[in-house]
Amino acid sequence: MSLLLTVTLISLYSSLLFPFFKALIVSKLSNSTKLQQLKAEKYNSQQKLNTISAKDEYAKFIKLERAIKKLDDEIQREALKTNQFVAMIEKYLGYTTYISTAILYLVRFWYKKHVVQSYSNGRSLGIGSYLFLLGQLISGMKFIFEHITVKAKQPEKKVDEVKTK
């Protein structure tokens, strides 16, 4: 019975729980506080720039424009670092799917004659048939979760971008 439980848990993990945890981890890593702080600073600088007249206070206007360009560069660098880190984490998390699939195939091969359920008419349900039925059940559940349930949309953060002349 422990073999059956192990196989069931590995199947559930690789098919249903792993994509959920992967999405959760990636979303947490993608929301870098430093990146959000830089974007907020850029937004505040742009708001200040909008209040300054280019004709009257030219030097102050140019300084703020340079600061905004410098913040843009920092934001791009930080976003690149964050994206590279997230890609690395996704890659290593993806390996667990390969490992769990390999374990299931090894179990299916090694215990191919193992009987999971015996019936009174002499027939029996083997581990390969059990894994097939379990896979069909999980793929049906996955289809229901992905296509039939209603997904709530994230509210979009709108930042007014002002074009300077």
Kindly list the domain boundaries of the chain, sorted by start residue: 2-148
Average pLDDT for residues 1-21, to the nearest whole number? 71
Two structure tokens written together for 39: 């974007």
Spell out the alpha helix ranges (H) of 52-117. 58-110
Query: Between the ranges 35-49, 80-94, 110-124, where is the mean pLDDT highest?
Result: 35-49
**In this model, does residue 69 exceed pLDDT 90?**
yes
Task: Note if the pTM is more than 0.75.
Answer: no
How many percent of the chain have pLDDT more than 90?
Answer: 5
C-alpha distances out from residue 59 to 41, 49, 62, 64, 68, Å: 20, 12, 5, 9, 14
- 115 strand-pairing partners: 126
The type of residue at 94 is G
15-19, 89-93, 139-143, 156-160: least confident range = 156-160
